[in-house]
Amino acid sequence: MTDLNIERQAINIVRGLAMDGPNAARSGHQGTAMALAPIAHVLWTRRMRYDSSAPEWPDRDRFVLSAGHASILQYSMLHLTGYGISRDDLRAFRQWGSLTPGHPEVHHTPGIEVTTGPLGQGLANAVGMAMAEAANRERFGAGVCDHRVWCIAGDGCLSEGVSHEAASLAGHLRLGRLTVIYDDNHVTIDGPTELALTDDAIARFTAYGWHVVDAGDVGDDLDAIDAALGAAEAVDDRPSLVVLRTHIGAPSPTLTDAPSAHGLAFGAAEITATKAVMGIPDEPFFVSDDVAALYRAAGARGGAARTAWETALPAALGERAAEWDAALSNRPLAGWTAALPTFEVGTSVATRSALAKALTAAVPGVPGLTAGSADLTSNTGTQLGGASPFTPDDATGRQIHFGVREHAMGAVMNGLALHGGVLPVGGTFLVFSDYMRPAIRLAALMQTDVIYAWSHDSVGVGEDGPTHQPVEHVAALRAIPGLDVLRPADANETVYALEAAVETAGPAALILTRQNVPVLEGTSREGVRRGGYILRDVVDPALTLVATGSEVAVALAASELLAAEGHAARVVSLPSWSRFATLGRDERDAVIDPGLPSVGVEAQVTFGWHRWVDDVVGIDRFGASAPGDVVMERLGITPEAVADRARRLLGNR
């Protein structure tokens, strides 16, 4: 056969695998994968630079399948090009413990760059990866970092709001190494896209500042697809959108362009008929030897480039090898904490302000550290003193201005961290973390190294009123598995919390005050790292007061009121429930003695507190518009209210 004939057979074999996997699982999405097979073939054999024997090569091209429901397509390509995904793995599609879960999962399957599925997230992740590539290339040189980011997105991705936010940011930043391929198949689950979607994607992305290639309905014309992708690569001063009109389920005799082809509509008879149209054997998971050889050769083709890169890397880095290694792994340099500030006991500092000082001091020792905010930089403690901004003309800037785009900020942060080279800190008001929640959940699922700086953490916000006063947010964030939520009591605990966040893998959330709070005596770096500790101990304690954040000072004041009445109260700071929960039972009991009555104090809803204490002083309602101290007093977050609750608890005992 001619090379073109082999390529056509290869595409049909990929389509066969795309049908066989979901059919074996009786679950999945074969239609989009079948439509995208020609595009995937061109990417993996003609365009992308990668080495399947080294999936973590830092200078590889990145591929993001934002339309993650088409995962069987990506698994098929990883299997064929030699990433160690076996035919048995394809047979185990969507089964317990397999390498081929229902949607792609990073750190689980070799060759998967990001966990996708919630539509639009992957496109925003790709924007973050392109930002990281630009930052690394300009900071360390093209000999160290010089690659592209490819993304396949569908109608659903472009319908979700997060993609609009991210595309707007990418256009503003002129991310020329980013190419998004729009799978324009005109199909949704409910029916034709025209049921709800008639906007002009080409005009919209052009308005965002993107370079748009309208390739039209090229079908299986591989040279036309390649030319469209080449046209995108040729433009280096703007991100590119390549619009390809595809046909879901093609070339099925009866289900091409059918909405039902999106999910599991292909039975055995339809698969047999479709394979007959394609001219391949009606054999599950069939791959011919010549097609296998074609793809294995494509997967190995980047080996020479990788070897050359590794050989040249020491000279390209010079004396910056340690800096590169730390940045790439999202870790700090040795001794970085020596530069961090300390705050004098008895002074009064908002924890958001303490974070700003700590971040500024940390920049030299954390090479990847980059901070930004959704238009609230100085309000959230994410202002890096003396740092230049990340701009279209200077990607070395360590200060990112995300604009009023909280959702995109969260998803872009995931892409920045997953790419490597950038450890992102992103800030907004705590109440607006709601906008970010899908990306936060994915950060926890992927264990990305991101740090959230959420300020204005309670009804202490004051006059802005209940729309801006978070009460349920800390509890909701604590409910996310794998998210380390740290609510420091004062400025020094804030520094310790930043240390813990930087040095621990996975996402961390710093919950910070707008208002000044006293710098306390006895705060402990090790105590914060462990999640909880005795801040003030007493002889023969009668009870324990447990608090987080600004309410630790309230608990200390309440302990003094109780002491004047002869009730010795131990005070515990509990900045991180998740860290505290990892301690052994004896270690936890040494901090919160189960033999003593205990009262929790937090200016948030009381949900979850009874895991640790007998009674809680909290706020199980929305706030009100008034000066912050007035709202706190009216809603019962005062030393007197805590002392009164403690007296009642002691009386009941």
Q: Is 375 exposed, middle or buried (0-12, 13-18, 19+ CB in 10 A)?
A: middle
184: which strand partners? Answer: 245
| Parallel/antiparallel/unpaired status of strands 178-184 and 423-429 | unpaired
- Indicate the DSSP class of residue 533: E
Distance CA 587, CA 188 (A): 53
Under 8 Å between Cβ of 308 and 302: no
Among residues 449, 412, 454, 459, the alpha carbon closest in space to that of 434 is found at: 454
> 411 CB contacts (<8 Å, ≥6 apart)?
120, 121, 124, 125, 127, 128, 162, 166, 438, 439, 442
**Annotation marks residue 406 as catalytic:** yes
- Which tokens belong to 441? 């959940």
Helices 161-173/406-419 angle, 10° precision: 70
| Parallel/antiparallel/unpaired status of strands 348-350 and 211-216 | unpaired
Distance CA 250, CA 31 (A): 7
Distance CA 169, CA 375 (A): 13
Query: Which of the following is catalytic: 7, 165, 270, 406?
Result: 406
Distance CA 438, CA 434 (A): 9
> 575 CB contacts (<8 Å, ≥6 apart)?
486, 487, 488, 489, 493, 497, 528, 531, 532, 548, 549
DSSP, residue by residue, 543-604: EEEEE-TTHHHHHHHHHHHHHHTT--EEEEE---HHHHHTS-HHHHHHHS-TTS-EEEE-SS
Side-chain half-sphere exposure of 265, counting CA atoms within 13 A: 18
Distance CA 553, CA 43 (A): 58
Distance CA 67, CA 117 (A): 7
Tell me how far CA of residue 390 lies from CA of 70, 259, 338, in angstroms.
Answer: 34, 43, 27
Distance CA 294, CA 591 (A): 63
DSSP, residue by residue, 88-114: HHHHTTT-TT-SS-SS--TTTSTT--S
Distance CA 549, CA 31 (A): 51
Catalytic residues: 406
